[in-house]
Structure formats: structure tokens, C-alpha cells
């Protein structure tokens, strides 16, 4: 039983690690601000954050003596990529036009569920911080 539980844990960890992500560069003026993603401290600017494309995220940027900046990173559907990948998959897996169409639909659905059919925006974050009290 313990052996099976270990295998299940490894499988779940592997699947979670495979979630599609996107690297977003973050810079501030002045440099040296702390970047939090969804409440977790990630880095100090200039830096990059790696976020999963399965959901929206909140970036919080703080620096002593400056106003806090909050920025929502949103998801945008990329229909051209999803359809292109679906058509390629359909052609490779099916020969009959009906099979190709079904394969396209399955591929697009799978990309939507996994997050691969989305991109995060903005793709680059550049913020000028406002001094506190101004």
C-alpha cells in the first residue's frame, strides 16, 4: 500500500510540475523592489517570475519609502495556436476528415483545460514606483 501511495504522489507531483508556465520579466524604477506573486515573495527587481497559465495572478510590488503597486496578470485565449496545434494533431492521428475534425476538437479542449491555449498579459512588467506621501 505504501509503495502505491508513493507512486501516486510522484505521479501527481510530475503532473503539477508539467503545468504550462510563462516567464514574465519585472523591472521597477527605482530598482530593488520586492515582487510577490499571489502573496508569495518571489524576487527583487530586476527579475523574472514564472507563473502558471492556468489562472490569473496578482503581482504585488513593494519598496520601503514607496507606494505599493498591485497588478493583475490576466489570461488571454490564443485561438490561432490552439487551432493550429489541433489541426496538426488531427492530421497526424486521423486520415478521414471526420476523424481530423474530432481530433482538432479534442486537442483544443485539452489545451484549454491544461492552460496551454492561453498566454499571460502583460508579458513584461515595468513600473515606476511613486514615493510615499506624494
Give mean pLDDT in consecutive 10-residue pieces for the chain, a chain of 134 residues: 46 52 97 98 98 94 98 87 69 69 75 79 96 84
pLDDT at 108: 75
Rounded to whole angstroms, how far apart are CA atoms 108 and 111? Answer: 5
CA distances from 18 to 1, 27, 65, 77, 93 (A): 26, 27, 39, 19, 23
Rounded to whole angstroms, how far apart are CA atoms 90 and 82? Answer: 12
Rounded to whole angstroms, how far apart are CA atoms 31 and 45? Answer: 6
pLDDT at 10: 43
- Residue 66 DSSP class: B
pLDDT at 11: 43
In the chain, the domains with their CATH numbers are: 21-74+122-134 (2.60.40.1120), 79-116 (no CATH)
* Sign of the four-CA dihedral 112, 19, 99, 91: positive
Of 81, 104, 80, nearest in space to 91 by CA = 104
pLDDT at 134: 64
Per the listing, cell 515582487 goes with: 35
pLDDT at 122: 96
pLDDT at 82: 64
pLDDT at 18: 61
- Residue 92 DSSP class: H
pLDDT at 65: 97
Give pTM, 2 decimals.
0.68
Amino acid at each position: 500500500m505504501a509503495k502505491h501511495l508513493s507512486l501516486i504522489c510522484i505521479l501527481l507531483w510530475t503532473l503539477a510540475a508539467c503545468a504550462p508556465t510563462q516567464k514574465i520579466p519585472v523591472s521597477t524604477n527605482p530598482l530593488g523592489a520586492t515582487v510577490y506573486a499571489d502573496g508569495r515573495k518571489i524576487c527583487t527587481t530586476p527579475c523574472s517570475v514564472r507563473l502558471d497559465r492556468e489562472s490569473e495572478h496578482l503581482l504585488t510590488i513593494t519598496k520601503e519609502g514607496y507606494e505599493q503597486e498591485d497588478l493583475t496578470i490576466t489570461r488571454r485565449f490564443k485561438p490561432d495556436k490552439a487551432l493550429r496545434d489541433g489541426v496538426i494533431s488531427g492530421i497526424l492521428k486521423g486520415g478521414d476528415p471526420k476523424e481530423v475534425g474530432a481530433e482538432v476538437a479534442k486537442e483544443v479542449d485539452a489545451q484549454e483545460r491544461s492552460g496551454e491555449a492561453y498566454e499571460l498579459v502583460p508579458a513584461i512588467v515595468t513600473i515606476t514606483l511613486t514615493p510615499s506621501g506624494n
